[in-house]
Amino acid sequence: MRKSFQIAALLVVALLSACTGGADKTEGAHGATEEKPSVKLASVASRGVDQIEEYTATVEAEAKNNIAPTSPGRIDKIFVEVGDRVSKGQKLVQMDAASLKQMKLQLENEETEFRRMDELYKVGGASKSEWDAAKTTLDVRLTSYNNLLENTQLLSPINGVVTARNFDNGDLYSSSATPVLVVEQITPVKLLINVSEPYFPKVAKGMEVKVKFDVYGDEEFEGKVSLVYPTIDATTHTFPVEVKLPNTNQRVRPGMFGRVTVSFGVLDHVVVPDQAVVKRAGSGDRYVYVYKDGKVSYNKVELGRRMGTEYELISGVENNSQVVIAGQSRLADGVEVEVEMN
């Protein structure tokens, strides 16, 4: 009986020990779940930030002219090649002149006939209506001759460069969409960019811009806004802006890819380290954890420019705030945190 009592007492002690040990483990686990996440902070403030936007565009000629006659004919001679610089009024193409010679003879006959009629009219040998009819016939013939002359001797309407030659000497030109030559004015050149609607009041003719071209690396070219279109596209909420470059040395050519940088002044905005910006999974939204009174808040932000290792914030964080720059993976809105000292 005594032996049974001793065994029972030992069992009670063992059970109490087991319960006490379990309680200690539970308490330890509970304590671990209550441990505050550790974070690093950075103080941020508002400062002046240049409002710079970059746009891409393809270079276009100031003017582009397709050189071709208005009627079919044989090309007698082309006087220029692709790449040649030409001057306004320079003869570029000579078309077959047979029709022109025939028209010139007809014009000379009409001139002779009109002089005869004019002499008769002066001495009363012809009526005013006869004189008017002769003069009209001469004017019509002269206009026809000048039109044919323009289509026989093709002149350059601008100072420029020949950028295309589509025919050879002796070819028959039939009215088509393909010109004999293409001449482009490349001093100056222009680029057309599409600017976002909020900047509409800030863009003005004459504004200076910077332009870079991939082919010239980091070299900057000076340009100016030459035209601001007066309407805004309702779909894209942008408006076209034309930029011109003097291009006096003609280093910039049509078709080049350019990057136009426009400065819209300076605005005071909060600037944060790039480490503070968190991207929300499944969306393009960006957030920053802001620390205050031992807790963090999950603030959605609108990003502006990236400047090296910093971001300009358009909205979302107040001036003179403290933001989390490390330890965000364990955070949620309203969580209490432990701040690591630097």
pLDDT tens digits for range 234-286: 999 999 999 999 999 999 999 999 999 999 989 999 999 999 999 987 788 99
Residue 320 lies in a domain: yes
The stretch 312-327 carries a mean pLDDT of: 95
**Domain tally, the chain:** 2
The stretch 43-53 carries a mean pLDDT of: 93
Crossing angle of helices 98-122 and 128-150, rounded to 10°? 160
**Amino acid 299: pLDDT:** 95
**Contact by Cβ (8 Å): 192, 242:** yes
Is the pLDDT score of 9 beyond 80? Answer: no
Is the pLDDT score of 297 beyond 60? Answer: yes
**Amino acid 342: pLDDT:** 65
SS3 49: strand
Residue 4 lies in a domain: no
**Amino acid 72: pLDDT:** 87
Q: Which of 111, 128, 151 is the last residue of a domain?
A: 151
Is the pLDDT score of 27 beyond 60? Answer: no
Residue 128 lies in a domain: yes
The stretch 151-167 carries a mean pLDDT of: 94
Residue 243 lies in a domain: no
Residue 187 lies in a domain: no
**Minimal CA–CA distance to 177: which of 169, 168, 166?**
166
Residues in Cβ contact with 342 at an 8 Å cutoff, skipping those fewer than 6 apart: 40
47 with 102, same domain: the answer is no
276 with 330, same domain: the answer is yes
**Amino acid 32: pLDDT:** 47
pLDDT tens digits for range 322-332: 999 999 988 99
Structure tokens belonging to residue 166: 């589509």
**Amino acid 275: pLDDT:** 95
For residue 296, give its domain range.
Answer: 38-53+268-339
Residue 44 lies in a domain: yes
pLDDT tens digits for range 175-190: 777 999 999 999 999 9
Q: How many residues does the chain have?
A: 342
Is the pLDDT score of 223 beyond 60? Answer: yes
pLDDT tens digits for range 86-106: 999 999 999 998 888 888 898
Q: What is the dihedral of CA 41, 43, 46, 51, to 10 degrees?
A: -50
**Minimal CA–CA distance to 52: which of 257, 220, 256, 280?**
220
| Cα 318 to Cα 46: distance, rounded to the nearest angstrom | 8
| Cα 315 to Cα 317: distance, rounded to the nearest angstrom | 6
pLDDT tens digits for range 104-124: 898 999 899 899 988 888 888
CATH of the domain at 278: 2.40.420.20
Residue 310 lies in a domain: yes
Residue 166 lies in a domain: no
- Please report which confidence band the pLDDT of residue 64 belongs to, taking 50, 70 and 90 as the band edges: very high
Q: Which of 123, 151, 179 is the last residue of a domain?
A: 151
